[in-house]
Amino acid sequence: MWRKTLVVSWIGSVLLGGGASCAALGVAGAMFATSASAGILPKNSDEQYELSFWDSIKNSNYASDYEAYLKQYPNGRFAALAKSRIERIKATSPTQPAKPEPKVEAKPAPTPAPTPAPPPAARTPATPATPATPPTANQPRSRSGGPIAQGTVTYANEGKEGAPAPASAPARPAEAKGGEIRDCPACPVLVSVSPGGFTMGSSTSDPAERPPHRVTISQPFAIGKFEVTVEQWNACADANACPRIATNPAEAKAAPVRDVSWDDTQQYLAWLTKTTGKTYRLPSEAEWEYAARGGTSSAYWWGDQMRKGNANCKDCGEPWSDAAPANVGSFAANPYGLHDMNGSVWEWVADCWHSSYKNAPVDGRNWDEAACTARVIRGGSWREGAPYMVSSTRFKYSTSVRQSQNGFRVARDMK
């Protein structure tokens, strides 16, 4: 799948819309000439990654967003503008609180791995209201679309939630209809997924999704029915076990939490594990795609053509808002009873990024590497278009970088 290059008007809005100078527009003109001569850009294009990353932060009021861009692209096309924005923000808001940093153990500084961003239809670091995640250079990108059924997701024991059970006395799993499980009042609802086989990847999409290969999931596992919500994340923050994410307002409690890094997710998983006595983790990339396909082999779980009401993305049908993703569960569930696997927010998975499936494991396990600094994100976001909604789409992101369209869902073994 290929994305069209950005047009002059878009480049002008990216630069001038943020208060850039005429000189910057001149740079934009030159940049457009380069893009125009290139024709269309593949989903896995480094140029598109950078443009998408910039577009996702271009309206941000946080200096840390521009610092993250400079970390990934110290000599990028928007480097001068990013530095200017940082100086302006610090000069006008000297007391502006910094975005909270993840409380993770020190690790070797990651080598600049581009952060995934959405396609030419750029994205904006939005304030959470529902799912969203994008890619940066050399990282995954986001997609979006689909009717949004308004409302808040509720659970059988909602309103009766107390403090999480201590690790020494894990809460007894609450079995619900359809194989649903909830290990504690503040925990995400899980859906049990039976073992099986499927063809992972695609021979007609991005090179990173090749070669298609047969994978056998030999053990049952449980995966989040929805993406982790703002309310669920804040329960961890309230326990001082996770960083408070300023861009996820408490009132958006049923929206998917976003702007979280891979490192952030590890803190949340550690808290859930300690709280419940169950070992929580991110799904492997193979488990994620197996669950997303829901037993189907088509481009989307509902078929080969986009259909209104199944995914939250910018050209997946009304209702849709570019400001933020819809509340979790606002769109139809796939055959396995999982919501928002396509669109909403990009979802972190456990695997280290590999540029293709050559030599990938065929048993569904996590494909990891020592000192991995870039991890896989899947599913696209509400900011991208229908081509990014296909079940095989994959991208990458630096583990330490927070991006406004990136979120996650949890998984655990059924033992």
**pLDDT tens figures, 236-257:** 999 999 999 999 999 999 999 9
CA angle centred on 372, ends 257 and 365, rounded to 5° = 75
Q: Is 107 helix (H, G, I), strand (E, B) or coil?
A: coil
Q: Model confidence at 360, in pLDDT bands (50, 70, 90)? A: very high
Q: How do residues 38-67 score in pLDDT, each as one tens digit? A: 333 445 556 766 776 776 677 777 787 788
Q: Is 160 part of a structural domain of the chain?
A: no
CA distances from 13 to 7, 20, 149, 285, 352 (A): 10, 9, 31, 36, 35
Most confident range (mean pLDDT) of 152-156, 216-220, 383-387 is 216-220
Q: Is 393 part of any domain?
A: yes
pLDDT, tens digit, 9 for 90 and up, residues 4-28: 333 333 333 333 334 443 333 333 3
Cβ pair 214, 284 in contact under 8 A: no
- In this prediction, residue 112 carries a pLDDT of 41
Residue 405 tokens, joined: 């369209």
Domain's final residue, options 49, 65, 92: 92
Residues 52 and 190 in one domain: no
List Cβ neighbours of 411 (8 Å cut-off, separation of 6 or more): 190, 221, 222, 223, 224, 280, 281, 282, 283, 287
Asked whether residue 97 carries a pLDDT value surpassing 90, the answer given is no
The whole-angstrom separation of Cα 39 and Cα 52 is 17
- Interatomic CA distance for residues 84 and 47, integer angstroms: 22
The yes-or-no verdict on residue 154 having pLDDT over 80 is: no
Structure confidence at residue 91 (pLDDT): 84
- How high is the pLDDT of residue 40? 35
Whether 299 has a pLDDT exceeding 60, the answer reads: yes
CATH code of the domain covering residue 229: 3.90.1580.10
Pairwise pLDDT comparison (315 vs 365), residue with the higher score: 365
Res 31 pLDDT > 50: no
* 100-110 pLDDT tens trace: 443 333 333 33
Specify if 98 maps to a domain: no
The reply to whether 231 falls in a domain is: yes
Same-domain status, 85 and 180: no
Residue 390 has pLDDT above 70, yes or no: yes
What pLDDT is stored for residue 151 in this prediction?
29
d(CA 295, CA 333): 13
Confidence category of residue 402, pLDDT binned at 50, 70, 90: very high
- Count of domains for the chain: 2
Range of the domain at 61: 2-92
Same domain for 178 and 83, yes or no, is: no
Structure-model confidence comparison of residues 162 and 18, the more confident one = 18
Whether the pLDDT of residue 234 is over 90: the answer is: yes
Residues 201 and 344 in one domain: yes
Q: Is 166 exposed, middle or buried (0-12, 13-18, 19+ CB in 10 A)?
A: exposed
Range in 52-56, 159-163, 221-225, 337-341 with the lowest mean pLDDT: 159-163
CB 280 within 8 A of CB 411: yes
Give tens-digit pLDDT for 181-228.
999 999 999 999 999 999 999 998 789 999 999 999 999 999 999 999
In this model, does residue 314 exceed pLDDT 80?
Answer: yes
Q: Who has greater pLDDT, 399 or 48?
A: 399
Q: For residues 1 and 159, which has the higher predicted lDDT (pLDDT)?
A: 1
Question: By C-alpha distance, which of 71, 70, 57 is closest to 373?
Answer: 71
Q: Do residue 84 and residue 181 come from a single domain? A: no
Say yes or no: 242 and 380 in one domain: yes
Q: What is the mean pLDDT of the chain?
A: 75
Domain boundary among the residues 44, 76, 92 is at: 92
With CA atoms as reference, report the closest residue to 161 among 182, 181, 179: 182
Instruction: Report the pLDDT value the prediction gives residue 43, as an integer from 0 to 100.
Output: 55
Strand order in the sheet with 190-193: 174-176, 180-182, 190-193, 221-224, 411-413, 280-281
